[in-house]
Amino acid sequence: MTTTQTKPLAPQPEVDTAPLKRLRRDRALLQAACIVISLFMLVPIYLISLAALSTRESLNDFPLSLLPTNLSFETLGAFLGSTGILGAFGNSLIVGIGTLLISALIGIPAGYALARFAFPAKEPYQLFLLFTRALPIVVLSVPLARLFLTVDLYDTTYAVILLHTALALPTTILISASVFLSVPIDVEEAARVFGCTPAGAFLKVVMPMALPGLAAASIFTFVMSWNEVLGASILTLDHRTLPAQVLTSLADSPLAYRFAGGFALVIPSIIFIAFMRRYLTNMWGSTIR
């Protein structure tokens, strides 16, 4: 009963490895591209950190050492110690978090409405939202400065919070609308059938599922507020945010101060993104559905 194949194998054509080699080459190129792009982002951050953490003298050395040989907090300390910087740092935090909270408070319900309800002129409304961003910040800020002067809000962090909220709202609304769209409506209806009020269903079911996406939107808002400089400089004098403060004193300050300023501007955003990253990766992962 041994009827195994006894027929001689037909001659196989030569194995063509060219496609396999192409595949390997493409993969290597992709890796190389990833590395180049990462370096493009990381090298400036590294250089700025290095300069900010070096002694004032070593900055003038030639050739410049690319390794952290002369670590010192002297420059950074001097920068943080100079007038107005710590205050500006605090202002920036207040403005960033304030902007985040207010734009979330207004933008998330608006995004929910866009995602779930049909109402007249929905499409034009979405387009109209983006018009705020179409206006240059200067055009917005100067009338705002006048307005804030008359209502006594000028030169306060509230003024900057309001401006930044206005700037951030379009993106907050549109991002959160798309996030809510990705939460299946059935799940919300199930919550309603099983005894939730509309608010209960939103808080117990929709919000937890939307959280990763909303966190991403909030990162965006915070970083935008942290980096915005023009409007903040126009609307404040003594209560500047960090970028505004640094900008005004940049021209007439020593090199070391500039590096330290740059470092202080970059770090909080990076920390904030690192903190929120978990939610971001979740969003592309399996949390929703």
Partner 1 sequence: MADITISHLVKTYPGGTERATDDVSLDIADGDFTVLLGPSGCGKTTLLRMLAGLELPDSGSIAVGGKDVTYLPPNKRNMSMVFQSYAVFPHRKVRYNIGFGLSMAKKPKEEIDRKVAWAADLLQLGPYLDRLPAQLSGGQRQRVAVARAIVMDADVLLMDEPLSNLDALLRLNFRSELKKIVKDLKTTTVYVTHDQSEALSLGDRVAVMRKGQIAQLGDPLDVYDAPADRFVGGFIGSPPMNFIKAAVSGDGGALIVGDQRLRAPSLLQSYSSTDVLLGVRAENVAVDTQRSSGDVPGTVLVVEPMGSSILLTVEVEGQTIKVQAPPTFRTSPGATIWLTFSPNSMRFYDSETAMALVAR
Closer to partner 1 by Cβ: residue 109 or 200: 200
Closer to partner 1 by Cβ: residue 44 or 198: 198
Closer to partner 1 by Cβ: residue 16 or 186: 186
CA–CA distance, 97 with 228 (Å, rounded to integer): 14
Residues in touch with partner 1 (CB under 8 A)? 118, 184, 186-187, 189-197, 200, 205, 208-209, 286-289
Closer to partner 1 by Cβ: residue 77 or 184: 184
Burial degree of 162 (CB within 10 A; 0-12, 13-18, 19+): buried
6-12 CB contacts, 8 Å cutoff, 24+ apart: none
- What lies within 8 Å, CB to CB, of 8 at 6+ separation is none
Instruction: Give the nearest distance from C-beta 192 to partner 1 in angstroms.
Output: 4
Strand partners, 71: 54
Token pair belonging to 162: 């309001």
Instruction: Give the nearest distance from C-beta 188 to partner 1 in angstroms.
Output: 9
Closer to partner 1 by Cβ: residue 11 or 285: 285
Burial degree of 97 (CB within 10 A; 0-12, 13-18, 19+): middle
Closer to partner 1 by Cβ: residue 188 or 228: 188
**Helix orientation angle between 85-116 and 255-284, rounded to the nearest 10 degrees:** 20
Closer to partner 1 by Cβ: residue 109 or 198: 198
Instruction: Give the nearest distance from C-beta 218 to partner 1 in angstroms.
Output: 18
Closer to partner 1 by Cβ: residue 40 or 194: 194
Please provide residue 54's backbone torsions phi and psi, each rounded to the nearest 5 degrees: -100, 165
Number of H helices, E strands in the chain: 12, 0
CA–CA distance, 256 with 79 (Å, rounded to integer): 8
Instruction: Give the nearest distance from C-beta 113 to partner 1 in angstroms.
Output: 16
- DSSP code of 228? -
CA–CA distance, 51 with 69 (Å, rounded to integer): 11
Instruction: Give the nearest distance from C-beta 196 to partner 1 in angstroms.
Output: 6
Instruction: Give the nearest distance from C-beta 250 to partner 1 in angstroms.
Output: 46
Measured from the Cβ of residue 85, the count of other Cβ atoms closer than 10 Å reads 21
The angle subtended at Cα 131 by Cα 127 and Cα 136, nearest 5°, is 160
